[in-house]
Structure 1
Amino acid sequence: MQLLKSFEQSIAILLFLDRIQSTDYIKAEFIGQQLGYSVSSTKKVISELTNAKMVRSISGPKGGIILNVDIKDISLYDILIATESKSFFSIDYCLPKGSFGSEHDQRLVETNLKKSLRVSATSFMDHLKDISIKNLTQ
């Protein structure tokens, strides 16, 4: 499993917005500059956060973004869902034929392996639901 950079950048952007406590909309360019991210990747992440309703954005000369919810109400799970593809925990593969003797044995191993990985993935996701972005600063 490897998380995309947008997961990390989302957390940084949300923490940045919370830290500055601005009631004014903040430009993507300013956020990117302050955090050391390119403007294009900052705008991509802001789009994901906007779609997830974590920030509000306005286009135009006076536009920018502002927090839409308190970061204590945003979990790492929320960020993961907003930034990662739907297939993040997709378990779709086949073991090499003949690896485990008969076809029956191979199907049994594949089924048990997939079941174990699904349980682990579910446990991981449930744990992320319990960690708010605000918890990271305490």
Structure 2
Amino acid sequence: MRFTEHELTAALTGTAKAVLAAQRKDVRKGKADIDTVWDTMDRYQRFTLLDGLGTQVLPVLVALPDVEVEAGTRPTFTDAQVTEAVEGLVGDAGGRVRRKVVVKTRTELVKIALSHVPPRQDPDALIVPDHL
């Protein structure tokens, strides 16, 4: 699948915030807002989280099959397509149980990433300022 840089960035950032929200007790209990927590993290903390997730999610997003995406909609994939892409990249490292856990976890991360991909924009409808 050909995603734009903006779409990949939004997907990865959304996934990172979802993982961070799951890890932080104050966010889970509603005592802190995830965007506030994200903004208070320093650049290195955000980089570390994004880098770790990026190595797991981005190769799978690129390996997904090509689909037609109408302007104003998000790309959609079946669970089988996502799982197949993950399995193709995981390989046979570790035992049978470990591989199954890695595939399941990575599949869920990719689904979260896909839910954060912004709707596709129509390149012909983009407005260019007059002063450029």
Say which structure is richer in strand. Answer: 1
Say which structure is richer in helix. Answer: 2
Structure with more contact order per residue of length (Cα contacts < 8 Å, sep ≥ 6): 2
TM over 0.5, shorter chain:
no
Larger radius of gyration: 1
The TM-score normalised by the length of structure 1 is: 0.31
